[in-house]
Amino acid sequence: MVENLAEKKRVLIVLGVFVALGVVTPFLDLFMQSLVTEILVFGILAMSLDLLLGFTGLASLGHAAYFGVASYTTAIIMTKEDWTWTFAAFQWADSLGLGLFYIFIFALVVALAFAAFFGFLAIRAVGVYFLMITLSLAMVIWGLAYRWSAVTEGDNGINVLGRPSLFGISLESEIPFFYFTLAVFLICLGLMYMFVRSPFGKTLVGIREREERMQMLGYNIWLHKYLAFIIAGVFSGVAGVMWTLFNLFVSPPDIELITSAEALFMVALGGPATLVGPVIGSAIIRSLQQFISIYVERWPLILGAIYIITIMLGRLYGVEGILGLFGKFRKPAAPPEAPEG
């Protein structure tokens, strides 16, 4: 019961923060509005990776692949006029005010297909081998974006000329798009929150903690990891769709290794297996990139320093990430266990 109350309190705090964000953001300047929106987009990406890294214990270094295929799919179906079938379908959906639904369904099915195929290849591997396989598969996607210029425009990237409207509401200006992003973000957060509390979500934690025991309890470990991989890939795809809609431009650097690595940093920095921790990580990393890069050319050095300090403090107090440290300082440490008599 007590645990339930504490959990309810946590949920209310998180909701309160996002309501506050929704209230405050319209009063910020355009630059800040855009930054907040960007943080939310990468927050979705970081949370989706948290399902793998934090909850399942799978360190994927290729999570930008599904982000990438979804963002490219979005750009392609909106711009490829000579692909008559897909373009006509998009225009038809858009004329009904359903263009966004069409984009999401199309792009997420593509992301799901890639995650299903890549996951099938990668899940057998463990530890650093899993890392290497996911990395190389993501490089394949990057290679496609870079080289398959007939479809992806190669180095030039794809310019998207505008956002589809939602039920006739234009999302072209910053404020409506921010609210749309916030809504998508909260839906993702809600779904992932339900997911990690579900029986299936708990099995992932069990697999992270001790795989051989889970096997002996009757779990098909491979299946659980594989499904988790696909689900995380689809949520990564949501972030990818949002990225193209936000940026109205997608090019190979958006989806390369750096994006995957950054997502890993966001999770580790904010606090793995917390969902909201990675969003804090996203806020820190994206803000640093936007603010400090104006003044300091080598801003990654500052990011590195913050990262090292967080990890070292975390080690010191036996917690993970900024959220873990926050929890540690807020409540007094638990009394040490009485020695067994």
Partner 1 sequence: MTNGQPGLELESVTKHFGGLHAVEDVNLRLNLGERRGILGPNGAGKTTLFHLITGVLPLTSGRIRLFGQDVSGWPTHKRVALGMARTFQITSLFPKLTVLENVLLAVQGLRKMKMVMLKPLSRYKDVYEKAEKLLSDVNFWHLRDQEVRNLSHGEQRQLEIVLALASDPKVLLLDEPSAGLATGESHEMADFLKSLDPEIAILLIEHDLDVIFEVVSHISVLHYGEVLAEGPSDDIRNDPRVQEIYLGKAE
Residues that bind partner 1 (CB under 8 A): 3-4, 191, 194-195, 197-203, 205-206, 209-210, 212-221, 231, 337, 340
State the CB neighbour count (10 A cutoff) for residue 110.
20
Residue closer to partner 1 (CB basis): 172 or 209:
209
CA distance linking residue 169 with residue 309, whole number of Å? 45
Closer residue to partner 1 (CB): 64 or 231? 231
In whole angstroms, the minimum distance from the beta carbon of 47 to partner 1 comes to 16
Distances in Å between the Cα of 89 and the Cα atoms of 21, 83, 171, 238 are 36, 10, 20, 20
Instruction: Find out whether 71 and 243 touch, Cβ atoms under 8 Å.
Output: yes
Of 217 and 301, nearer to partner 1 (C-beta) is: 217
- Report the nearest approach of partner 1 to the CB of residue 26 (Å): 32
What the block records as the tokens of 9 is 């309190």
Smallest distance, Å, CB 2 to partner 1?
A: 9
Nearer to partner 1, 94 or 211 (CB): 211
Q: Which of 24, 226, 36, 234 is closest to 130 using CA atoms?
A: 226
Counting every residue written for the chain, the total comes to 341
- Residue 48 C-beta: closest distance to partner 1, Å: 14
- In angstroms, what is the minimal distance from the CB of 326 to partner 1? 19
For the record, the structure tokens of 99 come out as 């263009």
Task: Using the minimum distance from each CB to partner 1, give the nearer residue, 217 or 312.
Answer: 217
Task: Give least dist CB 218 to partner 1, A.
Answer: 4
One-letter-per-residue 3-state SS of 85-142:
HHHHHHHHHHHCCCHHHHHHHHHHHHHHHHHHHHHHHHCCCCHHHHHHHHHHHHHHHH
Give whichever of 5 and 216 is closer to partner 1, judged by the CB atom: 216
